[in-house]
Amino acid sequence: MTPAAGDDFITVPENLEDGRAFLQVRIALFGRLLAVMTTLFLIGSASSYFLLTPDPSLTLRLSLDKYDLLAIALFLGLWALTRRGRLPLGLLRGLEAGVSILTCAGYALMVQGSTQELNLLVPVLAAMAVLMTRAMIIPTTPRRTFAISLVACVPFVVSAYFLARDIGAETSIPSILGPTVYVGCWLGMITALATLASRIVFGLEQKVRAARKLGQYTLVARIGQGGMGVVYRAEHAMLRRPTAIKVLPPEKMGDENVRRFEREVQLTSQLTHPNTICIYDYGRTPDGLFYYAMEYLDGFTLTELVELAGPLPPARVAFLMRQAAGSLDEAHGIGLIHRDVKPDNIVVCARGGAADVVKVLDFGLVKAHHSPDPALSQADALVGTPLTMSPEAFLEPGSVGAASDIYALGAVAYYLATGRHVFQATSLFALSAMHVGEPPEPPSQARGEPLPEAMERLILECLAKKPADRPPSARELERRWAALIDGGWSSDDALGWWQKHQADLATRRGPRSATPDRQTLVPFEATVPVER
C-alpha cells in the first residue's frame, strides 16, 4: 500500500504525545456516541410502551431504569472529562476501562428481583453494544480488549447464577447452572467478537502506520499538491523535527516523470542560500515510490501575507525582495533558472529567532543551462504561472533565462506593493497579450498612494518588455533592493509584526491534536504549470 494523492493520514500517531492526544479524542468520541445511543434507545423504548399503554406514568416506570440513567451519566461524564485539557495517558486508559466495566456491571444488576431468566438477555445485549463500540472506536491491542471484556462479563455470570437459583430454589445444582452456562456462552461470544474487532481495527492501523512511512520519515498530513507531486508534513524517526515530504504520485510514475522529479531534487539540493528552501534527503520506497524531504516552513506565502496585511509598506517590500533576489542570484550563478517565481512560491516565516525570513521554493520547473537531457528541460513548453510570466516566456519559451526570473520577481514586488497583480484577464490569450504588449499601470497609481520614486522605477524596470532593459542580474537587483530598505523596515519591525499576528498564524496551523493540521503552508496547488 502506498500513499495516494487523496490520502489524509489521520490515524496512528507516531510520537507519544500525539498518541496520547489521539487516544483522548477517541475516548471522548466513545463516551459521546454511547450516551447518544443509550438515550435514543430509551426514547424508542418509551415510545413503544406509550403506544401500547398510553399512560405517561406507567410508560416512565416501564421504560426508565436507574441503571440506564447511570450508564448515560457515566458516558457523558467520560465525554466531558476528556474534553477538558490534557489528561495523562495512564488516566485515560483507566477511565475507558473503568467506564466500560462499571457500565456492564450496572447492566448486570438490572435483573436483580426479576422473575424471568429471559430478562437477563436484554442487559447482555446492552453490554455487547458497549464492548463492541469500545473495540471499534478506541485503538488498543486485542489482549487488552480481551481482558477488559472478560472482566466486564463476570458480573453477568454471577447475576445469571443467582437469578436461576432464586427462580428455581428447589431445583438441583445442574438445573441452576444451566442458565448460567447459557449466559456464559453469550458472554464468551461477545468477548470473542470484541477481541476480533479490536484485532482487525488494530491490524488495519498497523498497516496504515506502515503505509505512512517513507524511509526514515513518517507522514502526518497532506499540506499541498501540484502538477508534479503531493506534499505531506512528516517527521523523521530519530530527529523528530517537522519535515515536508514531496511524493511523486503513483499515477505519474512514468520513466520521464521519475527522471524529471529526481532531477528536480538533485538540482535544488545544490542550492545552499539561506533564502532557498533546504533539501534534506531523497529516495525511493521498496515498491518504487519516489520522494524527497525538505524543511517544513511554518509561515505565510506572499499571497497569504497580502491577503492578511494588504499592500505592504515600501521598506518591507524591499526587505523581502532583497532576500528573494539573493536566492535567485545563487541559482543563476550555477546555471539554474527557476521559471515559476510567483507569490505562492515564496514563503515568509520566522526562523532561528529572526522574522520575515524569505524562502524561495518549488524549483520543480527549474531549467539548467546545457542540460544533458533536453527533454527534461521542457524547452518547447510554455511553463510557469501566467500572472508572473515574462513576455519571452509566452513568445519563445526556449529562450527563457535569468531575465525571465527577474521579470517574475518584479511582478511579485508589484503585487506586494499594490495588493494586485500586474495584469488580470479572463483568458490566457488576453493575459499573454498584456504581458507582451501592454505597459503596466504604475505601481503608485495601482496602490492609490505614492511609492518612493526609486522603488517604482526599479519595479517598472524589472517589468520591461525586453530582457536587455531589465536589471542585468539578480545580484544587481539584490543590491538595489537593499539600498531601498534604508532603515524603513528593520528586524525589530519584522519581529513586532510577527508577534502581533501570532493568532493569525495559530489559526492557520489548526489545533495541535491527533487530527491532521489544517495547514497549507506550502500551497503547491495554487497554480498548476501551463504546458502546451
The catalytic site residues sit at 340
* Dist. CA 276–CA 345, nearest whole Å: 11
Q: Which of 58, 71, 195, 70 is nearest to 134 (CA)?
A: 195
- CB neighbour class for 414 (10 Å; exposed up to 12, middle 13-18, buried from 19): buried
Cα dihedral across residues 506, 507, 508, 510: positive or negative: positive
Give the position of cell 490520502: 7
Cβ pair 211, 3 in contact under 8 A: yes
Cα dihedral across residues 399, 267, 384, 346: positive or negative: negative
* Dist. CA 106–CA 123, nearest whole Å: 9
Which helix (H) or strand (E) segment holds residue 213: the answer is strand 213-214
Backbone angles phi, psi at 292, to 5 degrees: -145, 155
Cβ pair 315, 488 in contact under 8 A: yes
Cβ pair 502, 495 in contact under 8 A: no
Coil, strand or helix at 301: strand
* Dist. CA 112–CA 47, nearest whole Å: 25
- CB neighbour class for 31 (10 Å; exposed up to 12, middle 13-18, buried from 19): buried
Cell of 116: 424471568
Cell of 133: 463500540
- Measured in residues, the chain has a length of 532
Cα dihedral across residues 333, 337, 343, 349: positive or negative: negative
334: number of Cβ within 10 Å: 11
Backbone angles phi, psi at 87, to 5 degrees: -105, 140
Q: Which residues of 397-406 are buried (b: 16+ CB within 10 A; e: fewer)?
A: beebebbbbb
